[in-house]
Chains A and B, each alone.
Chain A
């Protein structure tokens, strides 16, 4: 009998980018359905690995030992098995090889020989609760109760008597609608409430910053999207206009036409008419979007609705409402209060920024927060240094943020040609994801998609499919539609091609073993392939452009809510919501609680963190509130919709 050999399979979840890293004994069956894979071969038990995607066959491939070597054998799968980018029926596997099965890119390493495993999941960088800035020094889980607030009795109970709140002597305010977060998700919800007839005095939006786009704008600026650059957002995804008309392209065309820029004006119109087949997809300028939100914020009375505050905990009350414990003070002043409310919407955004574990290890080891950075952190100093002294940058990740950084480095090279760029990718990308008869385009290992999900996910057929799907099917659909993609922009493609031709831009593949500071700079050690020697990548800076992502439990407020009420989480570890975005388990006698944004990914809707997605969530929620005869709200019909739109045009309060 052969002693069972273990190998480590390592891949990033195609939908979220989250790391999976099981160590399994041979032989290993890979497939979509557990029951369709054999349980044993010749008396040896098989490890069965379920990969949930329609591109994976029920029993797709088998990894086994044959005459002393590791072999992968395709089991007649529909879409084939790729080893290091080449289609293979039967192929020997070496340490470090990449296996592609459907949308899954799996790195194979021999468990015995590999270095100590890295952390199973990505380590997040949390936002500082006082400044709301990404702060790498934040401890992972700050306690909910700090310095005795909210009171222990409040924290310990699921239902809080209203009397007890008054008995604390702290201010207790009442309101009908409360938006938790006061960011874009809250703003869009409040905008809809106002358009549906709710008065400003009935609504409170609790958060840290008055401008609803403050955090979003900061993350844009940090990730090198200045105000004149364009976002990755559709022309008719207007957070200031639920009707989507006039779209950003129309407004920009109109404005440019009267500035005498007739050519540009017609270009935008042509783009929205022909995109993405005959023209590059139109996207709005960041600055224009923020200005339009400012106008709408003034129109709906956001100034009076916004309340500064840090929310500590939320509980149901004994009269069927919700009590929100929040602190209104800052470091110098202590001011705490309760807010009683009937309807709550939680849109707290991303709880944290995702950071690659080996880079986090490096920062912990060296205390060097300047040469290894996350793309969403402020890292202007990197470009300033490069423009002055030149040097090498290593980028990780191949999504749209990576493209933006490549563009920024290209701009820096115009000032100092002595800059080079290493792009480290886990594995080659020979072909794009497939879904049914459609396939995503790929060039130079970048995968293209206009937005972060296929367009029909917002309001077309894919939206309907996902909503009707079971949780198991949703998992599969998100894996097939997701992944790190970038926009098919002519300038970016040109920069990449130019860089590759001229040699200042190089793409390398490999699994990172560790990152060390040595005298020549920062060295990234790549996992050796088939024991053929070590690969070292040398750079002055490393930029992690792998994205924003984290579990809701990284947010202390949500974590407390989930624990207190045993709320179910979905397969991605986010809040589990109904099709109208209600947190059904939180329903109270008179009250309803809803969620929106990134914290609901994995549920009935895919593009939850986009402008249009937030508008969709708000519309579903507000329609649901109108159906439940919530206070002061009436469903928008053909006539009231027209009337409200005319008010929007005239810039009159709803």
Chain B
């Protein structure tokens, strides 16, 4: 699929709100890691929020590619960058809901990797099965 900006935003919103939330629950409840708490949901929220901005940049960069496409490997690179960005903010400045001392990098990496992988897989499979038109509309499902 070759995303459009609207498609990027819509897919991101939907997948973070469903797959992202589902995969965050075990962390929130303390089933994974040893620190239950709302911090994981705050992180998820920031990733989704800043992501909408990043999407504008990705959509711009996409136009330099002849096919206007965005292969999976670019999605991975973008994902790594977005993770680093939020981690730096959390460690260096601290974010509302994520107090400076409470952010633990290894747990964040585990949580973030799981969410990224879950969202990637769902976007390639479930999205196509449930929203039959979305792949013809650059990821828009509304």
Contacts and interface: CB of A to CB of B under 8 A. Distances in A.
Contact of B137 (A243, A455, A459): A459
Given A273-B72, A274-B73, A460-B69, A455 B128 contact: no
B129 A245 contact: yes
A438 B67 CA distance: 8
A47 B54 CA distance: 50
Given A449-B67, A456-B67, A458-B2, A464 B136 contact: no
Interface stretch (A29-37, A256-264, A567-575, A634-642): A634-642
Interface in B111-142: 124-125, 128-133, 135-138
B68 A438 contact: yes
Interface in B69-91: 69, 71-74
A456 B136 contact: no
A277 B75 CA distance: 13
A459 B2 CA distance: 6
Interface stretch (B26-34, B37-45, B58-66, B98-106): B58-66
Given A274-B72, A438-B66, A461 B4 contact: yes
A641 B131 contact: yes
A615 B68 CA distance: 21
A455 B67 contact: yes
A603 to B, nearest CB: 16
A463 B134 CA distance: 13
A438 B135 contact: no
A277 B129 contact: no
Contacts of B68: 438, 454-456, 460-462
B132 A619 contact: yes
Contact of A641 (B71, B72, B130, B136): B130
Contact of B67 (A273, A274, A454): A454
A436 interface: yes
A226 B135 CA distance: 30
- Of the candidates B1, B3, B64, B74, the one having the most CB atoms from chain A within 10 angstroms of its own CB is B1
Given A236-B135, A449-B66, A460-B3, A276 B71 contact: yes
A393 interface: no
A455 B2 contact: yes
B67 to A, nearest CB: 4
Contacts of A236: 1, 128, 135
Interface in B1-50: 1-4
Contacts of A439: 66
A641 B126 CA distance: 11
Nearest to A435: B66
A45 B69 CA distance: 46
B69 A619 contact: no
A531 interface: no
Interface residues of A, number: 41
Contacts of B136: 458-459, 463, 616, 619
B130 A638 contact: yes
Contacts of A274: 71-73
B128 A438 contact: no
A277 B71 contact: yes
Nearest to B67: A455
A160 to B, nearest CB: 37
Contacts of B131: 638, 641
Contacts of B65: 438
Nearest to A460: B2
A617 B94 CA distance: 51
Contacts of A243: 128-129, 132
A204 interface: no
Contacts of B4: 460-461, 464
A266 interface: no
Given A278-B73, A455-B68, A437 B133 contact: no
A313 to B, nearest CB: 34
B132 A440 contact: no
Contact of A459 (B71, B130, B138): B138
Contacts of B64: 437-438
Contacts of A642: 129-130
Contacts of B69: 276, 455-456, 460
Contacts of B138: 456, 459-461, 463-464
Given A243-B128, A440-B66, A641-B132, A461 B71 contact: no
Interface in A90-147: none
Contact of A436 (B63, B74, B125, B130): B63
B73 A244 contact: no
A450 interface: yes
Contacts of B72: 272-274
Contacts of A435: 66
A460 B133 CA distance: 12
29 contacts: A236-B128, A242-B132, A243-B129, A244-B128, A244-B135, A245-B129, A273-B73, A274-B71, A274-B72, A276-B69, A277-B73, A278-B73, A436-B63, A438-B64, A438-B68, A439-B66, A450-B67, A456-B69, A459-B135, A461-B62, A461-B68, A464-B137, A464-B138, A623-B133, A638-B130, A641-B129, A641-B130, A642-B129, A645-B129
Given A437-B63, A459-B2, A641-B131, 20 more contacts: A243-B128, A244-B135, A245-B124, A245-B125, A273-B71, A277-B73, A438-B65, A441-B66, A449-B66, A449-B67, A455-B2, A456-B68, A456-B69, A458-B2, A459-B137, A459-B138, A460-B69, A464-B4, A616-B136, A642-B129
Interface of A: 236, 242-246, 272-278, 432, 435-441, 449-450, 454-456, 458-464, 616, 619, 623, 636, 638, 641-642, 645
